Amino acid sequence: MNKATVLWVDDEIEHLQSHIRFLEKLGYTVHTARSGETALDILGRERIDIVLMDQMMIGMDGLETVARIRRSYQGLPVVMVTQSEEEELMDRALGGQADDYLTKPVNPSQIQMVIKRLLQSDQIRTKQAAEFVAGEAAKFSEMRSLDMSWDGWTSLYRTWTEKDVNLEGHLDSELKLLQRMRFQDLAMDFSKFLELNYPKWVAGHDVPLMPHNFLQRVVAPLKGTCREIVLIVIDCMRYDQWLTMTPSLEPWFHMETSFMCTSLPSATPYSRNSLFAGLLPRDIWRFYRNDWIEEYGAPGLNRSEHMFLPDALRRAGYGDTAGVRFTKVMNQREGEALRRSLSQLLEGGFLALVVNYLDHLTHGRSELDLLRDLAPDVPSFRKLVSTWFDSSFLKDLLHTLSARGATVVVTSDHGSVLCNRPASVRGARGMSSSVRYRVGHALSSDDKCAVIVREPAAWGLPDDSPSKTYVFARSDYLLIHPSMARDEVRKFENTFQHGGISLEELAVPCTVLRPKSQ
């Protein structure tokens, strides 16, 4: 890798020859200038990566030169080097858009350190993070499915995701370059882990946090410890997206995050109903047969959540549910209306809120070329979500809740995964149309690409008819019927989908936010 090109500006540059030789021995190219005017001329002719700028120069001084540089070079790193230790001058230098400040006399190692920090720190951090995550992934690749655990998988996912978010998406790119096939294999290993363990969890063995036990394990224990509880379910929120929201919440809340394994299919009609009913989809169908609809695309799939919730809280040991309130927000206007009526909604001390915006954004990206062009990959889509949150009613609402002293629980019903690979699925007429999971009769698919469930009850799913089958896509596969036109298939490629088996869909954050003292 080529070293950077440095422009050192100092009217006594002859006294710095030993420093310049030191940098050149390290591989840096060094240009020198005795005045601000000469520096601007060199910048107009040469490719410069970083500027070391003396403050006290005859004619145009360092601060004036930096101001001139910034007119044409906004992103060029500039380090002020001066004999003065006055705090006012430091503030003026940094306020004048210098990136760092060194006080003379400087030694060569100081110069090397500041150059490396400003030019190479992100690259070094990315490389180290990629090596660490790759090492952790290698350990998992060597393990057999029986040796894995939900906590182990989510620990790897947490580390991987947090480092990628901190590095603004560069980690994911680095890992793909280094070991693309290994991480594809890892995604397949996770689906095999779920295939082996999910029926055991449904049967009650070593059950992790899941939607059907969420109210009992997370929400009910808060009763009596706080005056107001607000449960916020952000539909279709991934862990990386939640991480982009949390920095702005840190001044207001103490936050503790764990992971919930969402229901299968990892789709709202199943997972969100399961959360608010405190039951597996199989048991919702058994106990609320007239109030729950499974048919995909039918209206009112989540029409009874408000009715399920009080019953579920009572079973979870919450106590009196007379003051429980439930509401949904579809857009900013409804969110602002909610904020205005917040005191009324919290009179009983408990509010459950569903926020649908991210689900609309995710599906909108699949349907609108403009959104897909704006957010072509995971990091850019994450930034789009962050932009929404920064100006959303939700951020303002959370600030208000912190000021009220309310305890907030934030989670999601499912995440989403960026899908690219098609896999064929066949079955009798009447098969559902979703591309990450299918429901129908006598369905079949390649078990390398999908998990086929022929005993729905063992997976916590309704078994209301003979030969009923569920098919869940593994990793990033799309379940495509052979009759689907190629143009239709292309519409789903490189889109975020949910309903199948991947860490991004199934491992959703569950964060308890306790307000900091005002």
Q: What is the mean pLDDT of residues 436-452?
A: 95
The rounded distance, in Å, linking the Cα atoms of 309 and 64 is 65
Summarize pLDDT for 123-149 with one digit per residue, the tens.
Answer: 766 676 667 666 766 666 665 545 789
Alpha helices in 97-209 (DSSP H): 108-141, 150-166, 170-202
Distance CA 394, CA 406 (A): 15
How far is CA 36 from each of CA 11, 58, 84, 229, rounded to the nearest angstrom? Answer: 9, 9, 19, 61
- CATH classification number, 5-106, choose in 3.40.50.2300, 3.10.580.10, 3.30.420.40, 3.90.1150.10: 3.40.50.2300
Angstrom distance (rounded) from CA 23 to CA 45: 21
Burial readout 431-461 (b: 16 or more C-beta within 10 A, e: otherwise): bbebbbbbbbeebebeeebbbbbeebbebbb
The whole-angstrom separation of Cα 99 and Cα 357 is 38
- Residue range 422-446: mean pLDDT, rounded: 92
Give the domain ranges of the chain: 5-106, 122-200, 210-414, 421-493
**pLDDT for res 163:** 80
Please answer whether residues 510 and 411 qualify as being in contact, where contact means their C-beta atoms are separated by less than 8 angstroms: yes
For 58, residues 6+ apart whose C-beta sits below 8 A from its C-beta are 11, 35
Comparing 169 with 339, the larger pLDDT belongs to 339
Question: Residue 430: pLDDT above 90?
Answer: no
- Tens-place pLDDT, residues 7-52: 999 988 988 899 999 999 999 999 999 999 999 999 989 999 999 9
Span 391-404, pLDDT tens digits: 999 999 999 999 99
